[in-house]
Amino acid sequence: MAIKVKKGKGILFEAVPDNGQVGMRVGENGRAQYVWPNRMVLPDDILTKLKKDTVPFLYPPPKPIEYQGASWIVNMCADADEYRNALIGLDQAFGDKLPIFNHPRAVAMTRRDLSAKLLDGIPNLIVPKCVRFKADANNSFQKTFEAEGFKYPVLVRPATSQTGRDLVKIDTPFDWVKVYQTHWYGKYHYMTQFVDFQGADGKFTKIRVAFVGDTMFFRGYNPSDTWKIFAAYSDTPTDADLLRYMDKIEEFEKNATLIQVCQEIRRRCGLDFFGIDLGLLDGGRFVLFETNAAMSILRPTIGSADFKIIKPQQDQIERSLRGYMALPAQWQSTEGSSPTVRATFGLEP
């Protein structure tokens, strides 16, 4: 089956997760809506325009499809565990042929264990050791801990978990029972060396940085009383939390060490639109939490605070994204010299 794409138009590449599972929720109109996990998150207006400028491609198609005349591709699949098959398929079909926004080879390298190796050695950045393994026996976790030379404490989470679901911290040999209280059997997991990032003030501070092309934006600041931090400003943000974040923007965007660290991460990752979560250490250093293209950078934040407070920064990021997406020739598309997705995942010599 051949589909002709109008000159100057592109392909919007989406996929069903490898496990075939998507979520459901009731939308504002009272109708059921699909919730696709770990996809690139775009504002509704940008996504609406994008759909007008593209033809859709949902992987895997029921029968082979040949697209003729497409000029570029936007890849919505943002997680290397969730969409491994789709990333392989996209790379094989178009990897060296067209500009691809968030190229599948770059997304593949954001897999937590691969990202840890890719980003190791950046000055002033601590990259914790991370190992991916399949939990298929009662002692899989302990065996991995011992074989890989980990020390307590470690973090354990299932692959595809970007929200912290089933994330546990193992502080002592008596804590392994925590993982057995999750749906662990037969699933791939990550084990990551925990790095204590509690500051002298007693706070655990997470910052988020977003990138549009090579342009950097300070996107979140959350000093917390606990190490387990997910929200950008606070678990239940108040106006004061948002104002605190806005007050920190200029300070962090002038932080030469942070800029150097983040720009080197961007250079190595080669993504077009993505986020970086870092822990703030005393002495001006940082610890890597994660970097991926599935972060909520421009999605409206839910809560009772007045989110108009952060609108100037959000508007700036969105304007940058609109302009950047309109210029496929400037995208960070990975060239043929980079390993294919299949090679990255160890599926070919």
159: left (phi > 0), else alpha (psi -120 to 50), else beta?
Answer: beta
Mean predicted confidence (pLDDT) in 218-247: 93
Mean predicted confidence (pLDDT) in 142-158: 97
**Has residue 1 got a pLDDT over 60?**
no
**Has residue 336 got a pLDDT over 90?**
no
- DSSP per-residue string spanning 69-132: S--EEEE-B--TTTTHHHHHHHHHHHTTTS-EET-HHHHHTTSHHHHHHHTTT-TTEE---EEE
How does strand 273-280 pair with strand 215-224?
unpaired
pLDDT score, position 205: 97
| pLDDT tens per residue across span 189-210 | 999 999 999 999 999 999 999 9
pLDDT score, position 251: 94
Residue 121 pLDDT grade (very low, low, confident, very high; cuts 50, 70, 90): very high
pLDDT score, position 245: 96
DSSP SS3 for 16: coil
**d(C-alpha 338, C-alpha 328), whole Å:** 19
**Has residue 157 got a pLDDT over 80?**
yes
The helix (H) or strand (E) run that includes residue 269 is helix 256-269
| pLDDT tens per residue across span 163-190 | 667 899 999 999 999 998 888 888 999 9
Q: Where does residue 58 rank: exposed (0-12), middle (13-18), buried (19+ CB within 10 A)? A: middle
- The 10 Å Cβ neighbour count of residue 50 is 16
**Residue holding tokens 């108009």?**
308
- The 10 Å Cβ neighbour count of residue 283 is 8
The residues with which 75 forms a beta bridge, in sequence order, are 13
pLDDT score, position 163: 62
| pLDDT tens per residue across span 76-91 | 999 999 999 999 999 9
- DSSP per-residue string spanning 140-198: HHHHHHHHTT--SSEEEEETT--S-TT-EEE-SGGGGGGGGGSS-TTEEEEEEE----B
- Average pLDDT of the chain? 92
pLDDT score, position 2: 64
